[in-house]
Amino acid sequence: YKEARDANRLKDEFLAIVSHELRTPLNAMRGWLSLLKSARHTEEQQAHAREVIERNIVAQTQLVEDLLDISRIVSGRMRLQVHTVDLQEVVGAAIESIALAAEAKGIRLDAKLDNPLIQVTGDPDRIQQIVWNLLSNAIKFTPRGGTVTVSVERVESHAELTVSDTGQGISQEFLPHVFERFRQGDSTTTRPIGGLGLGLAIVRYLAELHGGTVVASSAGEGMGATFTLSLPALVPIGAA
């Protein structure tokens, strides 16, 4: 009974957050569109307005995509398009796609992708989604001037991706729940960092769908966090 009651409470909190998060970019877009229509503005002001609107469209699109992915996961409709994947190439593409967000926040991205060819079997788009979510999460919770470090290496029969940050860290109480759906360290709608809190739940599911694992570690609040993705690696041609 207690577990059912707690699950219902978490879902109620999640629905409140969803409503808030979906409404926030809509309000921003509506406000800037109204300003554009109400008076004359300089070209610079118009460009800024378009930039804000575009940024909020991207944010809302990501929210909807996360909700759709969770729906596919819950209903068992998530499917993979399996290919041989160069993990370092996929990680590099994910870094390129998020580099501007890191630069805008003054965060240094330190990529260590100089290992020999490391290949895995999987869906390249979904693997890139895993990497993007981990990087996005690290940037979101790292303050200006911090560092996010990304590395890929082969560890015995597995390929390991590690994303470490110098951000706010994870409390020891919340650490066991970090990959759970409907769970966030701060579940209030007034929390300083937004988002639905679904990204890491999606990461764990996609990792397991690829026959891999993902784990999180942190020394505590204010001490940064490290996420390690492990996927079965293909044996290089000619290897013993």
Determine the pLDDT at residue 3.
80
pLDDT score of 193 more than 60? no
Mean pLDDT, rounded, of the chain: 85
Identify the CA nearest to 165 among candidates 145, 184, 142. 142
Q: Which residue has the higher pLDDT, 190 or 32?
A: 32
Q: What stretch of H or E contains 162?
A: strand 158-165
- What phi and psi, each to the nearest 5 degrees, are found at residue 214? -140, 135
pLDDT score of 165 more than 90? yes
pLDDT score of 159 more than 90? yes
pLDDT score of 137 more than 50? yes
Determine the pLDDT at residue 183.
64
| DSSP conformation letters of 82-93 | -EEEEHHHHHHH
Percent of the chain with pLDDT over 70: 90
Q: Tens digit of pLDDT for each residue in 225-239? A: 999 999 999 876 545
- What is the identity of the amino acid at 113? L
Q: Span 161-176, mean pLDDT? A: 94
Q: Span 138-161, mean pLDDT? A: 94
Q: Do 139 and 105 contact (CB within 8 A), yes or no? A: yes
pLDDT score of 44 more than 70? yes
pLDDT score of 178 more than 80? yes
- What is the identity of the amino acid at 136? S
Determine the pLDDT at residue 39.
66
Confidence of residue 191 (pLDDT cuts 50, 70, 90): very low
pLDDT score of 189 more than 50? no
User: From CA 129, how far away is CA 122, in angstroms rounded?
Assistant: 12
Q: Tens digit of pLDDT for each residue in 93-112? A: 999 989 988 998 999 999 99
Q: Do 14 and 22 contact (CB within 8 A), yes or no? A: no
